Structure 1
Amino acid sequence: MSFHLRFIVMRCFNIANCSGVASAAAGLLLSVAGFAAPAAADPREVGIWYDDTGKGAVKIEICTPTTLCGKIYWLKEPMADNGQPKIDAYNPEPSKRKRPICGLPILGDLEKISDGGFDNGWVYDPKEGKSYSVALDLVDADTLKVTGYKGMRFLGKSFIWTRAPADLPSCDSQAALPPVPAPVPAVRKKQASSDTKKNKAEAGASKLGAADVAKSSHKKKTAKAAATQPPPIASN
């Protein structure tokens, strides 16, 4: 007990009505206790993790005081073949098939268990449109084992996720970037060049053909005109 707090308590013993002093002492004790209590650290599972394919990353967060959840945070290829952001096309519920993959919740209700790790949650796989039970086990600071299962955990399948850098850009920012035009293949350029030469040759041949036709037509006209002229008068 600090000297100041001891002084307040001793004064209370010497005063008949010390309710106000007692209240002050209690408040001081609470403030000291609150200052001394360390802040609870976030579970080490919290953060951004590359999945086992390396084509996506999931952000795991604290969603309630007792559970973790996660959503898709980054995609190697955020756009579909049609140039639009990828959507949850395989969801078993038709009303959810237009949800964007970016930001899609895929982990939830993970509870801390007594022997370490988290379990009793769910995981959703948008590539198949299926959900499973899931457990998380931290292998080390940068390695997370994710086990999906149905029914019995030991019959499930485990995948290894690796911690991603904290400054990894989100897929929201990726989708905002303009699409990069696809390069023209070299074969296509060669073909285009060949087509150009072919067109020029055909154009030249067409011009030559037209000249030959005109020349032939001129000869025919000349011959016809000569045939219709009266024969020359023979001189004596």
Structure 2
Amino acid sequence: MNRVLAGIAVAAFATGSAHAGPLDVFGTFVTQKEGSHIRISDCGDGTPCGVIVWIDPASVSDGKTPETATDAKGARILGLTMLEGFRRKANGWTGGTIYNPKEGKTYGSRIKLLADGVLEVKGCIGPICQTQHWAPVESTSGMAD
């Protein structure tokens, strides 16, 4: 009987780990508006940081390439950290910031992974937030992730 219970416990644990929760935000996602890729990884303290790792050439203007594109402040966009400073909550990450390269502005942010694997990203000014949904980047898409 103990072997049966142990087997059920192992199977339940394995099944549970296959489903990502709202805190499992690590991975590479494509932004909703610009189509750029953001890689979210550990900042070094267990919290998520999002770095721009690929820029859609169609979103670049002024005769620049994705490699030479700059933000509103003149900083190079590729490699720029745009998500950081989050605190863990039971239903996601809050208290972070998101940087908008086109505007050169930083906003309050909350992020969480939805059940379908899409990252819900909120950019906020005070209590008013705008929500975007970033799909995971498929490694077979041929684009850098």
**What is the count of residue pairs matched by the alignment?**
120
Q: Which residue of the partner structure matches residue 87 of structure 1?
A: 70
Structure 1 runs, 4 residues or longer, greater than 3 Å off = 78-81
Q: Which residue of the partner structure matches residue 92 of structure 2?
A: 117
TM-score normalised over the length of structure 1: 0.46
Bigger radius of gyration: 1
Letter in 1 for 2:99: Y
Post-superposition CA distance 1:76-114 (Å, at most 9, x none)? 1175443451012x12xxxxx2x211111101011211x
Which runs of 5 or more residues in structure 1 are unaligned?
Answer: 1-40, 92-96, 171-236
Letter in 1 for 2:138: P
CA distance in 2, matches of 1:166, 1:140: 20
CA distance in 1, matches of 2:133, 2:60: 25
Is residue 71 of structure 1 aligned with residue 51 of structure 2? Answer: yes
Kindly state the Cα deviation for residue 47 of structure 1 after the two structures are TM-superposed.
Answer: 0.4
CA distance in 1, matches of 2:40, 2:121: 12
Post-superposition CA distance 1:54-80 (Å, at most 9, x none)? 521111111133311111111111754
Identity %: 24
CA distance in 2, matches of 1:53, 1:161: 9
Letter in 2 for 1:73: V
Taking the TM superposition and a 5 Å limit, the aligned residue runs for 1:134-149 are 134-149=109-124
Letter in 2 for 1:162: A
**Higher RCO (CA 8 Å, separation ≥ 6 residues):** 2
Q: Which residue of the partner structure matches residue 106 of structure 1?
A: 82
CA distance in 1, matches of 2:102, 2:37: 14
Contact 1:48 1:166 in 2 (8 A): no
TM-score normalised over the length of structure 2: 0.73
